[in-house]
Each structure stands twice: as C-alpha cells, then as structure tokens.
Amino acid sequence: MEDTGGTARPARIRMARAGFSELVLVCGKCVKRQGLKKGSVRRLLRRELKARVPSRKLRVVEVGCLGPCPKRALAAATADSLAKRRIHLLDPAATPAQSIDALFPDFGPKGCLSLADAPTTDR
C-alpha cells in the first residue's frame, strides 16, 4: 500500500472473532447431483450437532467443486481434514448422526484414563 507521499507502509492484517466453532465445506455440485435441495445438508448437520452439544456452533458452507467427483456421494471437508489434505465422501442416504460421526471422529468428551493407562510415578 502506498501513502500519498510515495512511501510504502506494511499491510495491516486484522483478526475478527468467528461466530462458530466448527466449519464444514460441502460441494454444491455434489448436492445438486444427488437431487438434494440447496441448504438441506446444512440444516440436517446443524440440527444434529446442536442436539448433541448446544454450546458448539457449526457453520456449513456450500462451495464449488472440492476435487473428487463421486457418483453416489457428497464431498465434504472440515478444517481438520483439510489440514490432513483429505476430503470426506459422505453417503447421501446416511443419517445426520452418521455424517457427524464421519466428519468429526474425535467429537465429544474424551474417555477418562483407566488405571492401567495412567502414568506411574515413583515417590
């Protein structure tokens, strides 16, 4: 960026707080190919996640093509799957609970450690 004086100043990047805690990208082309209405996948996934944990907010965004074009599946991605360079292929006939389980395998509270798994310390 240049000032009126001709000197360049560094670009300033600002951050804003997101109003959601989880993000899912769904291929809009796959949704259309499966004969689903626009926004139907968003409603189903949000309703299921809200029923499980009301405090977490899910943002589902229908985007353009994500790359793989499965014939009988929906391409979807989460922030975690994109970090691993993976795309989820969801069955359109699956229940919302099955889809949430596939998208977020580590979802929910972690199980407590059993005594066999607990680290031992010598005193």
Map out the domains of the chain as residue ranges: 22-103
**Does residue 8 have a pLDDT over 90?**
no
Q: Given this model, what pLDDT does residue 117 score? A: 42
Q: Given this model, what pLDDT does residue 90 score? A: 92
Q: Given this model, what pLDDT does residue 123 score? A: 44
Q: What is the rounded distance in angstroms from the CA atom of residue 39 to the CA atom of residue 20?
A: 17
Q: Given this model, what pLDDT does residue 27 score? A: 93
Count of other CB atoms within 10 angstroms of residue 38: 10
Q: Given this model, what pLDDT does residue 112 score? A: 37
* Count of residues in the chain: 123
Dump pLDDT digits (tens) for 80-110. Answer: 899 999 999 999 888 888 888 888 877 555 4
**Does residue 3 have a pLDDT over 70?**
no
The share of the chain scoring above pLDDT 70, in percent, equals 80
- 8-state DSSP, 77: E
- Rounded to two decimals, what is the model's pTM? 0.71
Question: Which of residues 116 and 91 earns the better pLDDT score?
Answer: 91
Q: What is the rounded distance in angstroms from the CA atom of residue 18 to the CA atom of residue 95?
A: 28
* Average pLDDT of the residues in 56-72: 89
Q: What is the rounded distance in angstroms from the CA atom of residue 11 to the CA atom of residue 121?
A: 51
Helix axes 96-103, 40-52, angle to 10 degrees: 80
